[in-house]
């Protein structure tokens, strides 16, 4: 299953979070705010760690999306 992330909604949502934040609290906050399912799927797959800034979360999601893309490409070889 491919994860699609609405980056505008992600940034808007992340800017309202009180940092630092745990993955668990980040997901809870996103569910409470009703962010789209693509963002929630991405947040659920993040490493279980403390995030200091919205940029930390965005970068982690970017790394996740790259890893998934590489896996999908290698499975098609």
Q: What are phi and psi of 21, to 5 degrees?
A: -145, 145
Before 5, cis peptide (omega within 30)?
no
Instruction: Show the beta-strand stretches assigned E in 9-59.
Output: 21-22, 50-51
Please compute Rg for the chain using Cα positions.
13
One digit per residue, pLDDT tens: the chain, 77 residues?
A: 556 676 777 777 777 899 999 999 999 999 998 888 888 888 999 999 999 998 899 899 989 888 888 888 887 76
């Amino acid at each position: 299953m491919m994860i699609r992330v609405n980056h505008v909604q992600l940034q808007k949502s992340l800017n309202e979070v009180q940092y630092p934040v745990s993955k668990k609290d980040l997901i809870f906050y996103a569910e409470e705010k009703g962010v789209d399912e693509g963002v929630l799927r991405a947040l659920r797959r993040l490493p279980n760690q403390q995030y200091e800034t919205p940029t930390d979360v965005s970068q982690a999601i970017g790394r996740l999306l790259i890893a998934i893309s590489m896996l999908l490409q290698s499975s098609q070889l």
